[in-house]
């Protein structure tokens, strides 16, 4: 099935954040005509890429104008209103990849769980809160079901620790719980409770499924979070003590999902590796994902180029990887640096690489960029991870020094990037 | 020596062609503030990169405005008028890297040869034509000196077969020779004759020299030209029968030159491998170069990122490479395809990568893009090179098919990129 398309083919990307920026970087080198709908001139991609239209992904009029200019539409993330998009695209020839049906199946974690169940893919037990019953009663019911410990989650629009709230019997903050559930309601999201999983490690897998039905996986990796935000990713997991069987299972699950949902492009699955040496799906992201950023420097083809190859039906590029690799997210430090902190960039070393998102404001915990590192062997990984952390710490220290010692001056020492 | 710079540091790039485009791609991901002076809106980089100023690199007013906006100035190529640049930068704090002194030493092939001689680096014997003598007498004198065969060259502004004319006794076309020498005069370039070298292969080496005096080389590679235009690059040369001693010599020569000329950044040296198993320098390019494009997909760090690292004094990135690699330039086919040929792009395979320059017109022999390929072993190289050629041929065929069968229609099949 080869689509008929106007020429030259134009790909539209919805959203102007770092994932869109990195997709644009891949499209740039590949010669693909790209148009991007970005929120404003300060959006990461709008600062450097020429073909950005400024407008909200929530505004039907902006969407419609944008859709009329492109042939294929891909997503930076799944946090979109599918009904609004469908309405805005009515009568136009734009094609969404993955389809809006697929996006709506995956963007809701409860619908995700139903799919997972149907496909025999294990995930944590859950309990959907019935909004018609009293919240207190529902919370107590699920705590009872899950032996006094569970995690409350929004079904939709949660990310980076948002939309997640751990609960434990006897330590319930009802004000926070009510506010959490009300926030979900405002987002038209259901709420559910999930059994608190006792896990050894969190794992992640990025897979690519192309419109030619080609399917490939990058290696299973280990990921670490800080306050719900991805902090560190490294691998390959199987060289670090994770059972090969678990990687095989992860790949099998990814393939089942890709085929069942027509989930075209690069996508990610996050897993818990349980104390019982099994994996449970934690979350699915139907798109390029933070846990695959290491592919930019550690793999023959990165997740961004492969996302574009997959949606265009071009052969998926080799997923070969370096023997060891790590990715550290550079997050906004807790102590505010202000505007000044932006003047210096982290300074990579010989085998490490900086990817920087050009955020205009450094907020605590905000993803500002990431550092990738590659190693010739997995035994070098502890040292590599230490190296990444030192680069980040030096950057924070340097930024503070600049702010403290150079305040009010127009010039500053800027020995590096 | 750490320069004092305004913040945030801005790097300016002179010129808007494909080399500038690929530098901009590297700068984008690294978070570097970049400004580019491009010839017009159709320049490759101006089509996609937001911070292009349109203007001529020959126009002192455009240059001055541009220079006032940047801290460091780097070059897409050495085909610039150093006097004009120096004048336009007078009194401004912009720093040229490499310096204009270095550029002027390298941009003139006769001055190059003097440097090479001084450093004991071998290159072909030459004879500078004295413009005060009769051209006929000078040509006959050099043909006599070089046993009836030589190559006439402009000292400046020659590239891709331009500014090069082979001569042989008894087959002299005086009209063309006069025109060749007059074109050189118009460019204020001297003319010289070089002994025609009988060579086995052409080799090339890309090296990186940083402002911290770090020096690294990528592997020696084999290059093939078609009518003076680089067509194919592959390597590593030492795995393909080239003597390891020659690679060592090439690296030694590159290091001598880098240090003697303060040649900061990525730069390239092209060599002849003679029938006597020696290398002679053919040409030096004080910048990122076509013979290093393979580094984008075959090396841990490519020549573009390393160019930026080197001029910023950031540690040079690892030059580790895949066991085998090849790069094929996609040149405009001889039969004109017209505007239509642009609607389809070459379609890479799993282990090959397209880099496309977005040229608005397909002229015969024009560099439109390149295809990089990687291999797990050098024994796979013949097959890899064949694969690259098939991709190019399929693209030409497909473009012709589209032009022939779909002429006048608004829609066309476009199964690939």
Angstrom CA distances, A48 to A25, A213, A293, A357, B18, stand at 10, 34, 20, 10, 17
Partner-chain contact B9 A347, CB within 8 Å? no
DSSP character for A247? H
Q: What's the pLDDT band for B415 if we cut at 50, 70, 90?
A: very low
Min Cα–Cα distance to chain B from A357, Å: 7
Q: What's the pLDDT band for A336 if we cut at 50, 70, 90?
A: low
Partner-chain contact A348 B315, CB within 8 Å? yes
Taking residues B360-374, what's their average pLDDT? 91
Min Cα–Cα distance to chain B from A328, Å: 15
So what's the pLDDT on residue B253? 98
Contacts with B72 from chain A: Cβ below 8 Å: none
- Sign (positive or negative) of CA dihedral B15, B21, B25, B26: negative
For residue range A360-412, what is the model confidence (pLDDT) as tens digits?
Answer: 888 888 999 999 999 999 999 999 999 999 999 998 888 766 655 554 443 33
- Whether the Cβ atoms of residue B271 and residue B116 lie closer than 8 Å to each other: no
Mean pLDDT of chain B: 91
So what's the pLDDT on residue A194? 93
A175 CB-near residues (< 8 Å, 6+ apart)? none
Contacts with B317 from chain A: Cβ below 8 Å: 348, 350-351, 353
3-state secondary structure of A298: helix
Task: Kindly state whether A126 is in contact with chain B, defined as any CB-CB distance less than 8 angstroms.
Answer: no
So what's the pLDDT on residue B94? 96
For residue range B273-321, what is the model confidence (pLDDT) as tens digits?
Answer: 999 999 999 999 999 999 999 999 999 999 999 999 999 999 999 999 9
Contacts with A51 from chain B: Cβ below 8 Å: 48
Indicate if the pLDDT at residue B340 is higher than 80.
Answer: no
Partner-chain contact A412 B351, CB within 8 Å? no
Contacts with B412 from chain A: Cβ below 8 Å: 4-5, 7
For chain B, what is the radius of gyration of the CA atoms?
Answer: 22
Indicate if the pLDDT at residue A341 is higher than 80.
Answer: no
Task: Kindly state whether B234 is in contact with chain A, defined as any CB-CB distance less than 8 angstroms.
Answer: no
Q: Which residues pair with A33 in a beta bridge?
A: A10
Q: Could you give the angle at the alpha carbon of B21 between the alpha carbons of B333 and B254, nearest 5°?
A: 90
Dmax of chain A from CA atoms? 63
Q: pTM for the complete prediction?
A: 0.92
Share of chain A above pLDDT 90, in %: 83
Window 253-292 of B, Cβ < 8 Å to A = none
Q: What's the pLDDT band for A231 if we cut at 50, 70, 90?
A: very high
Taking residues A240-263, what's their average pLDDT? 97
Any idea which of A122-131, A255-264, B230-239, B307-316 has the lowest mean pLDDT? A122-131
Which H or E element spans position A285? strand A279-285
CB-based burial label for A337 (10 Å; 0-12, 13-18, 19+):
buried
- Whether the Cβ atoms of residue B309 and residue B316 lie closer than 8 Å to each other: yes
- Whether the Cβ atoms of residue A406 and residue A343 lie closer than 8 Å to each other: no
Contacts with A297 from chain B: Cβ below 8 Å: 300
- Sign (positive or negative) of CA dihedral A411, A413, A416, B1: positive
Indicate if the pLDDT at residue A180 is higher than 50.
Answer: yes
Q: Which position has the token pair 């190059």?
A: B112
Task: Kindly state whether B410 is in contact with chain A, defined as any CB-CB distance less than 8 angstroms.
Answer: yes
For residue range A91-126, what is the model confidence (pLDDT) as tens digits?
Answer: 999 999 999 999 999 999 999 999 999 999 999 999
Q: What's the pLDDT band for B41 if we cut at 50, 70, 90?
A: very high
* Ramachandran quadrant class, A64 (left: phi over 0; alpha: psi -120 to 50; beta: rest): alpha
- Whether the Cβ atoms of residue A344 and residue A402 lie closer than 8 Å to each other: yes
A47 CB-near residues (< 8 Å, 6+ apart)? A41, A358, B50
Q: What's the pLDDT band for B342 if we cut at 50, 70, 90?
A: low
Q: What is the 3-state secondary structure (H, E, C) of B162-209?
A: ECEEEEECCCCCHHHHHHHHHHHHHCCCCEEEEECCCEEEEEEEEEEE
Contacts with B316 from chain A: Cβ below 8 Å: 350
- Whether the Cβ atoms of residue B153 and residue B109 lie closer than 8 Å to each other: yes
The beta-carbon neighbor of B369 closest among A31, A343, A355 is A31
CB pairs below 8 Å between A and B: how many?
157
Angstrom CA distances, A339 to A342, A346, B414, stand at 6, 16, 47
Contacts with A348 from chain B: Cβ below 8 Å: 309, 314-315, 317
The beta-carbon neighbor of A354 closest among B2, B31, B51 is B31
For residue range B82-109, what is the model confidence (pLDDT) as tens digits?
Answer: 999 999 999 999 999 999 999 999 999 9
**DSSP state letters, A339-401:** GGGGGS-----TTEEEEE---SS--TT-EEEEEEEEESSGGGHHHHHHHHHHHHHHHHHHHHH
Task: Kindly state whether A31 is in contact with chain B, defined as any CB-CB distance less than 8 angstroms.
Answer: yes
So what's the pLDDT on residue B192? 94
Min Cα–Cα distance to chain B from A56, Å: 20
- Whether the Cβ atoms of residue B261 and residue B284 lie closer than 8 Å to each other: no
Mean pLDDT of chain A: 91
Q: Percent helix, strand, coil in chain A (nearest 5)?
A: 35, 30, 35
Task: Kindly state whether A90 is in contact with chain B, defined as any CB-CB distance less than 8 angstroms.
Answer: no
Q: Which residue of B has its CA nearest to A354?
A: B30
Indicate if the pLDDT at residue B399 is higher than 70.
Answer: yes
Task: Kindly state whether B411 is in contact with chain A, defined as any CB-CB distance less than 8 angstroms.
Answer: yes
Partner-chain contact A49 B48, CB within 8 Å? yes
Partner-chain contact B51 A48, CB within 8 Å? yes
Q: What's the pLDDT band for A284 if we cut at 50, 70, 90?
A: very high
Min Cα–Cα distance to chain A from B278, Å: 33
- Sign (positive or negative) of CA dihedral A54, A57, A59, A65: positive
Share of chain A above pLDDT 70, in %: 92
Window 323-382 of A, Cβ < 8 Å to B = 342-343, 345, 347-351, 353-358, 369, 374
């Amino acid at each position: 099935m080869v689509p008929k398309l106007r020429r030259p083919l134009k790909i539209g990307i919805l959203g102007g954040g770092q994932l869109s920026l990195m997709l644009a970087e891949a499209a740039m080198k590949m010669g693909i005509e790209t148009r991007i709908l970005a929120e404003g001139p300060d959006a990461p991609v709008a600062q450097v890429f020429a073909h950005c239209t400024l407008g909200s992904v929530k505004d039907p009029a902006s969407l419609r104008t944008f859709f009329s200019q492109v042939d294929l539409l891909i997503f930076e993330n799944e946090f979109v209103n599918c009904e609004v998009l469908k309405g805005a695209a009515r009568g136009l020839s734009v094609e969404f990849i993955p389809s809006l049906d697929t996006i709506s199946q995956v963007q809701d974690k409860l619908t995700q769980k139903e799919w997972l169940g149907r496909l025999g893919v294990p995930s944590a037990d859950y309990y959907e809160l019935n909004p018609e019953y009293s919240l207190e009663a529902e919370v107590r019911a699920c705590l009872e079901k899950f032996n006094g410990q569970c995690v409350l989650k929004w079904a939709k629009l949660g990310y980076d620790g948002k939309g997640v709230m751990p609960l434990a019997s006897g330590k319930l903050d009802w004000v926070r719980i009510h506010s959490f559930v009300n926030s979900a309601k405002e987002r038209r999201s259901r709420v559910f409770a999930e059994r608190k999983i006792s896990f050894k490690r969190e794992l992640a897998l990025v897979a690519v499924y192309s419109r030619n039905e080609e399917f490939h996986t990058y290696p299973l990796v280990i990921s670490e979070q800080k306050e719900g935000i991805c902090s560190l990713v490294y691998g390959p997991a199987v060289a670090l003590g994770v059972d090969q069987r678990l990687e095989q299972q992860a790949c099998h699950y990814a393939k089942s999902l890709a085929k069942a949902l027509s989930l075209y492009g690069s996508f990610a699955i996050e897993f818990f590796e349980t104390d019982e040496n099994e994996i449970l799906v934690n979350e699915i992201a139907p798109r390029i994902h933070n846990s695959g950023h290491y592919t930019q420097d550690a793999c023959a083809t990165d997740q961004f180029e492969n996302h574009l190859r997959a949606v265009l039906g071009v052969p998926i590029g080799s997923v070969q990887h370096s023997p060891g690799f790590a990715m550290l997210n550079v997050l906004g430090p807790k102590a505010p640096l202000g505007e000044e902190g932006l003047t210096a960039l982290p300074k990579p070393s010989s085998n490490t690489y900086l990817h920087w998102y050009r955020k205009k404001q450094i907020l605590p915990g905000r993803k500002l960029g990431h550092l990738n590192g590659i190693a010739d062997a997995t035994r070098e990984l502890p040292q590599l991870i230490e190296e990444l952390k030192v680069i980040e710490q030096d950057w924070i220290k340097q930024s503070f020094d600049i702010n403290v010692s150079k305040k009010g001056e127009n010039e500053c020492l800027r020995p590096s990037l």
